[in-house]
Chains A and B, each alone.
Chain A
């Protein structure tokens, strides 16, 4: 009996990063759901997700805006923000937020954080 795999959504406008994260997540036993933009994600729906990883700098809706919308719709859903622009990470609004990762990120640390977040939300739920 295969246990239902947690679904982790990844939003990034860079297909290479999407591919790589899909690979990483699947290798870690998660079901990855990769999307090119925030709009795509919202169109797909949030109901079955267990965790969201999103890039910040994207054409159209950026990661912060997406996070705010998701928080409103599903406050308990853990959201990880990822950015390649370190100046953004230095900005005030990003500081002190957990689940914030800079590219290139430490893959094991990311997986650990995902695992913890899922554990927490499962316990919380």
Chain B
């Protein structure tokens, strides 16, 4: 019930509804002209339906309740029906209202304005036709049941139905108008008001006349009624119908109406009245609705026209506003319309170009389109016109200022429903900036592309999915690939990577694709020649504004040469290190601040790795240098580091075994271009052996000095100019004074010594030779007498030799004086002996001698021959040249004498002079002869075995001649052994045999082939011999009274034997 309560209408409305309902009941009572029926026009039914149509359905109980109260009140006042009958009748009325309202609302939907013909017809059929059936049936049945007014059901029903229908037709529209326009102001103009009043007056007049009986029939009222309906539509119809009903009621009640009359006609009149009202209402409503509909249509039309006009204006503005050139063409392609923009663009109206007899299209295109584009455009347009296909192309149009601008032109046909082309619409959009921008872009792109291709790098781009999207030309050229090869990109990329690098490259690239991190790797890529080259590949993602990766760009730079160079550098560094390690040096390097940066392998092997806390030079030096050497070496190193000068240190360094060894360390700074020291390099070499050698050398020097001092020789050292600087003890003692005692005298040390010491006979020669040697640097050798401290002159042999530096300059003269006094005296004797021997020696080789003799003789002989022949010629000449002949003759005499002298000398040589014979022992003669041939024997590697009896008796001999014999025979023996391979020995024996001394000389040669002939003159077995030697020897021996013969030696060789008679024993 709360919901019903909440839908309660305003009390005012309910009260008004109650009043109107009661009034309607009264009105019905008044019009019930058929007494006793109680049935008449029933206005409350119209009110009820109109109310329920407009009221919400939920509030209907309220209206039903109030309507019930109103009807019961009316029943009490006028109808006096029994209460049950009254309630039943009301129930029929309420049911009628609800059914009618429900049907109308359901069919038309809310709100019902009754403005169209359909609405009116629905309202009339359902509300005024169908709904009263309910009320008529219920009411007629009630009347019949209760027997009120003795009505039968069939007799009451038509009256009831038509009464309710008329009520609905007349009241409901009025009620709807009143309720719906309750608060609206009247919008009628003054003319309308006057018209309304005029219609009202006419209606009243006509009604009065027709109903008053002055006019033959009631329906004359229709024209004003319809006028009102036409002019004032629904409202006019409602109001006039209400007025008509009132007037009819008034006249009917007064009985003046046609519908009043006698009792038997009452029923008929009643129906006529109701029909009249119903038809009037129906007609008026229909006309009003038609009028309304017409008005609405008119209104809609005018509004549409207005809207269309606005639209057209808008479109026209748009057409001119949009930055598009628009033209319209006839189906044949001739232009008929140009929008303002196009006209502005061209700067004149294109109609001006229109020339009769020519196609305007062609004229326009020729004039306004770029000559390059005009033919193709014309063709395109004509093609489109011919086929009906749209066209689209880009071309250049000339602007008012003469500049051609690119436009994008398109045309589409407008077709009717049958597909026939009505019009062509063509537009062109200025795309000049765009085209130029595109051209610029293309240029830029081409530039970039050229740049990309010109760069000596490989540029690839990848999609975010890892597909290869672009490869620059250089890549293709270098790698020998066509673009088609890149279809299976991953596989190709894999194939190009060196198999050793591929797994890492793939892993890294996959990772980068996943994470979006930049990619950077060095690896080998295969070139078209099949060689792998090192590249450095870098890939970066290009991201859009949202950070999503659009593309990957990869740049690969050929770094093969660089890598090779690095490899070579590494290799060369390795080689250098190996070389360093191979050299017997230890190499260290330090930074300018002294921090250790490098230690050669050899150093580590020799010295051992420095401990962890040793990181710089100072610490290392403290650690390894001998404590005794450390201060000096450290000072020197510190100075070197401070000044940047190279330095050398010699010190003892502890090696791995803990042994200190001498080293020489040389430090050298490496400077950069600015001269700043980059590194210090220290190369150290083991000089332990050298140091030992030096020590040994010093020791040796001391030893040598001692040797010099203790030698039994006198030693003197002199400056290059000859001035003595040192004398050995021996010399000092010999001379009897110290060297220093010579200083401070007018004479130099040298001259002082020489003048005082050298024998006066020798001093000049000594000075001269010594000076010569000092000047030339030749070694000096001279024998002279030197004064001893006791004043005696002693023979010495002085030798001096210069001591030179490498470059040859003389540093010092070293002089040695040997006491040769004994020797000299012995040699003096020897010399005398040799002088004697000399002659023998001269004769010794008689073979050579004879050749010399021949030469000696032949020389003067040849001169004599020549001179004498010359003399002959001078004398034979014409005239005789006596002067020359004389000279030549003198020369002949001289040369002949000279030849005679030679012969004399030879005779003297072989003269068997008895006066030269002396008595002496043969042993001395043999010894002298052996001495004479000793040198030759030594040269020929022949041993001389001498076996001479000690006490040989003296014999009288010419010493020289016998020596000649000995030497000659000995030389023969030696020469005989020339070709012998084995041991060579010459045996000399001498012994007494009876009264003779027998001397044998045996050799081990090949023996004598002709033992008898060899002693004959001019017999020789020698190449150069004259065959005189043995003949002479035999003659000498025989001259001494002896014999000379040859025998065979045992086991081989020859033996020459000669005998000489012992003095006194021989015959005189």
Residues of A bordering B, CB below 8 Å = 14, 16-17, 19-21, 23-24, 26-28, 57, 82, 84-87, 102-108
Contacts and interface: CB of A to CB of B under 8 A. Distances in A.
Contacts of A103: 858-859, 861-862
B interface, over-half SS:
helix
B874 interface: yes
B898 A20 contact: no
Nearest to B892: A20
Contact of A27 (B854, B884, B895): B884
A23 B860 contact: no
A107 B869 contact: yes
29 contacts: A14-B859, A16-B859, A16-B891, A17-B859, A19-B863, A19-B867, A20-B862, A20-B863, A20-B870, A20-B888, A23-B867, A23-B891, A27-B877, A28-B873, A82-B862, A84-B858, A84-B862, A86-B858, A87-B851, A102-B858, A103-B858, A103-B861, A104-B864, A105-B866, A106-B865, A107-B866, A107-B868, A107-B869, A107-B870
Given A85-B854, A86-B854, A20 B867 contact: yes
A23 B862 contact: no
B858 A19 contact: no
Interface string B868-903: 111101100100010010011001001100100000
Given A85-B851, A105-B865, A23 B870 contact: yes
A27 B874 contact: yes
B855 A107 contact: no
Given A16-B891, A16-B898, A84-B855, A104 B867 contact: no
A interface, over-half SS:
helix
Contacts of B895: 16, 20
Nearest to A108: B869
Given A21-B866, A27-B869, A27-B870, 8 more contacts: A16-B859, A17-B859, A20-B866, A28-B873, A87-B851, A103-B859, A104-B865, A107-B865
Report the 4 A-B pairs with minimum CB-CB distance, sorted nearest first: A107-B869, A103-B862, A20-B866, A27-B873
Contacts of B898: 16
B884 A23 contact: yes
Contacts of A105: 862, 865-866
Contacts of A19: 863, 867, 891
A19 B864 CA distance: 10
A60 to B, nearest CB: 17
B859 A23 contact: no
A57 B852 CA distance: 12
Contacts of A82: 862
B1024 A17 contact: no
A20 B863 CA distance: 5
A14 B898 CA distance: 13
Given A85-B851, A107-B866, A16 B860 contact: yes
Nearest to B852: A85
Contacts of A26: 870
A91 B891 CA distance: 32
Contacts of B859: 14, 16-17, 84, 103
B891 A20 contact: yes
A51 B858 CA distance: 23
Contacts of A108: 869
**Residue of A20, A84, A85 ringed by the most chain B CB atoms within 10 A:** A20
Given A24-B867, A27-B874, A17 B862 contact: yes
Nearest to A107: B869
Nearest to B867: A20
Given A23-B891, A27-B874, A17 B855 contact: no
Contacts of A27: 869-870, 873-874, 877, 881, 884
B869 A104 contact: no
A107 B864 CA distance: 10
A27 B866 CA distance: 10
A24 B855 contact: no
Interface in B405-447: none
Contacts of B1024: 87
Interface string B954-982: 00000000000000000000000000000
A106 B869 CA distance: 9
Contacts of A23: 866-867, 870-871, 884, 887-888, 891
Nearest to B885: A27
A14 B884 CA distance: 21
A103 B865 CA distance: 9
Contacts of A21: 866
B855 A85 contact: yes
B1019 to A, nearest CB: 17
Contacts of A104: 858, 861-862, 864-865
A91 to B, nearest CB: 10
Contacts of B851: 85, 87
Contact of A17 (B854, B866, B888, B894): B866
A102 B861 CA distance: 11
A17 B888 CA distance: 12
B164 to A, nearest CB: 180
Nearest to A102: B858
B873 to A, nearest CB: 4
A105 B864 CA distance: 10
A103 B857 CA distance: 9
**Residue of B873, B891, B1024 ringed by the most chain A CB atoms within 10 A:** B873
A105 B894 CA distance: 19
A16 B863 CA distance: 6
A24 B869 contact: yes
Contacts of B861: 103-104
A29 B870 CA distance: 11
Contacts of B894: 16
Nearest to A16: B863
